[in-house]
């Protein structure tokens, strides 16, 4: 009796640990290479210890069959990856906006290492990613992830996750919203630079002696940085709304994967 109870507790903890580790490995900031693997593993183990006593596992002997055990652990891994991927798309929207802004202003050649994704991006993109990271923690975005993780054990007990067809539809819609958010964040600067190019084109026609190329670079950069500075409150508002709306997105994903 004691052996069966210990076995149930052990595999219940393993399922919680796999799901927790999967979501931490795919989260922005925490799931990147700037956080050492040992730190991420220790954090996943600590969170799993907190959630494990709250998860009721009805252990069945046939779960130990290698094929069923592999499928069950794979399902837990997939659930965590889906939750982390949905969160990471928020920062993908910021990266899209930063890349578009950088090329519009003329900073496409001036690249810098993105501390979140460890790739080279325009300096404006790096600045926006750092700002988005601070906003993410300022509005308790990490708490939403912990709430979603706790809700997942209620909506999707171990061995009960499914890939419902509507999950693909929700994922596609989320990616569309990601591109839409990126365009919204970059719209003020895009519009201003297009107007600058339009004015310079007209001046080049009216005053052929004027060196439009020599005048265009400093003017575009100055106006672009000015618009970016005044547009930061709008950026913060849009990103904050997206973070607060993340709770509903994660809940929809959990409900879709919890369907039989």
- In angstroms, the CA 87 to CA 26 distance is 9
What letter does residue 107 receive in the DSSP assignment?
-
Question: What average pLDDT does the segment 227-243 reach?
Answer: 86
Averaged over 35-42, what is the pLDDT?
Answer: 83
Yes or no: say if 155 and 169 are a contact pair by the CB < 8 Å rule.
no
What local confidence, expressed as pLDDT, does residue 115 receive? 54
Per-residue pLDDT band at 4 (split at 50, 70, 90): low
**Given a cut of 80, is residue 41 above it in pLDDT?**
yes
Q: What percent of the chain has pLDDT over 70?
A: 85
- The better pLDDT of the pair 84, 119 is held by 84
Q: How far apart are CA 51 and CA 49, in angstroms?
A: 6
Q: What is the pLDDT of residue 110?
A: 57
Q: What pLDDT, on a 0 to 100 scale, did the predictor assign at position 63? A: 64
Across the chain, mean pLDDT equals 79
Backbone phi, then psi, for 121, in 5-degree steps?
A: -135, 160
DSSP strands (E only) in the chain: 111-113, 120-122
Of 191, 179, 178, the C-alpha closest to 104 is 191
- Beta-carbon neighbour count of residue 204 at 10 Å? 16
Of residues 204 and 120, the one with the higher pLDDT is 204
Contact 125, 113 (CB under 8 A): no
Angle at 249 between CA 36 and CA 24, to 5 degrees: 15
The residues near 67 (Cβ < 8 Å, ≥ 6 apart) are: none
pTM, entire model: 0.78
**223 or 4, which is more confident?**
223
pLDDT at site 257: 76
Per-domain boundaries in the chain: 2-257
Spatial contact of 97 and 186, defined as CB atoms under 8 Å apart = yes
Query: How far apart are the C-alpha atoms of 234 and 237, rounded to whole Å?
Result: 5
User: Which residues are CB-neighbours of 83 under 8 A, at least 6 positions away?
Assistant: 23, 26, 145, 148, 149, 152, 250, 253, 254
Structure tokens that stand for 246 in this block: 């993340």
- 119 CB neighbour count, 10 Å cutoff: 10
């Amino acid at each position: 009796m004691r052996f069966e109870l210990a076995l149930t507790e052990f595999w219940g903890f393993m399922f919680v640990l796999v799901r927790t580790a999967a979501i931490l490995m795919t989260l922005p900031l925490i799931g990147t290479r700037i956080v050492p693997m040992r730190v991420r593993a220790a954090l996943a183990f600590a969170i799993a210890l907190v959630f494990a006593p709250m998860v009721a596992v009805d252990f069945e002997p046939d779960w130990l069959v290698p094929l069923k055990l592999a499928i069950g652990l794979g399902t837990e891994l997939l659930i965590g990856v889906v939750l982390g991927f949905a969160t990471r798309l928020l920062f993908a929207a910021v990266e899209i906006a930063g890349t578009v802004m950088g090329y519009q202003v003329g900073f496409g050649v001036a690249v810098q290492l993105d501390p979140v994704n460890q790739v080279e991006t325009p300096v404006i993109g790096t600045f926006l990613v750092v700002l988005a990271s601070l906003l993410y923690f300022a509005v308790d975005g990490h708490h939403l992830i912990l709430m979603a993780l706790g809700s997942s054990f209620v909506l999707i007990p171990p061995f009960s996750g499914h890939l419902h067809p509507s999950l693909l539809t929700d994922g596609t819609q989320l990616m569309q919203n990601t591109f839409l958010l990126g365009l919204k964040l970059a719209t003020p600067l895009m519009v201003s630079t297009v107007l600058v190019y339009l004015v310079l084109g007209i001046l080049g026609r009216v005053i052929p002696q004027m060196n439009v190329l020599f005048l265009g670079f400093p003017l575009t950069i100055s106006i672009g940085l000015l618009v970016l500075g005044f547009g930061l409150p709008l950026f913060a508002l849009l990103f904050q709304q997206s973070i607060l709306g993340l709770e509903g997105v994660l809940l929809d994903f959990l409900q879709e994967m919890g369907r039989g």
